[in-house]
Structure 1
Amino acid sequence: MKLKFLIALIVMTLSKGAFAAGMSDDATINKVGCHMNNATCYVYLDQKVGPDSCSSNSIRWSKDAKNGQETLSLLTAAFFAGKKASFYVLDTCYEDGIYPTFGYFNVNNN
């Protein structure tokens, strides 16, 4: 019985992709920008977010997505105002497979 428990514990610890979608902690936005050769926009945060396969301190979205331009505007305003933001980070990676992405976000007055 103890051996089965130990094996299960080891397997769960070593499994990739155990991240479930959910809200990040309030994060400071250190950088904000967009690529010139495609529609990808990004912010760099003071913490890592995302599933194991693409965990990063940078989170990405497409400015061509519904509300993508509005997202860029709001996060840029938060950056310049020194506000923190929290993100509902998805359990999948952005289309490039390298960075996490999000479903929605909040700008916080703290």
Structure 2
Amino acid sequence: MKKVFLFVFLLGMHGIAHASIQTKKVVRVGCHTHNNTCFAYVEGAITSDSNCPSNDGSFRWSITAPNGESVLSIILAAQMSGKNVSFGEAGCYDNFPTFNYAWINE
């Protein structure tokens, strides 16, 4: 059982190791009222291997996703404190760049 857990853990870490991590200053944050999409506009270009067709300088995610509201809180806290956020870029959400995880930098 321990070997199976270790294999699954290492496999998961392999995926994280290859994610494109982008550290950005958040300049605007908001959510749409007509759907569950939230957005964070960042300073500078978002470089994405996914080539999302609507890369306008914002990351998008669903507020109803697991931890979607927590991510909104993290991003708002970073914006209010003037700190950068690191985004683990993960493809496209509704044609815009999205992420699997985010954290505040010092």
Structure 2: tracts of 5 or more residues without a match:
1-17
The amino acid that maps onto 2:44 is Q
Identity of aligned residues (%): 37
Q: TM-score when scaled to structure 1?
A: 0.72
Contact 2:74 2:103 in 1 (8 A): no
Unaligned runs of 5+ in 1: 1-19
What is the aligned length?
A: 86
Cα deviation, residue 53, structure 1: 3.1
State the superposition RMSD in angstroms.
1.5
| 2:20 corresponds to which of 19, 22, 32 | 22
Runs of 4+ aligned structure 1 residues displaced above 4 Å come to none
Deviation at 1:47, TM superposition (A): 2.0
Greater strand share, structure number: 1
Equivalent AA in structure 1 for residue 39 of structure 2: Y
| 2:103 is aligned with 1:103 | no
Match of 1:77 in 2: 77
Q: TM-score, normalized by length of structure 2?
A: 0.74
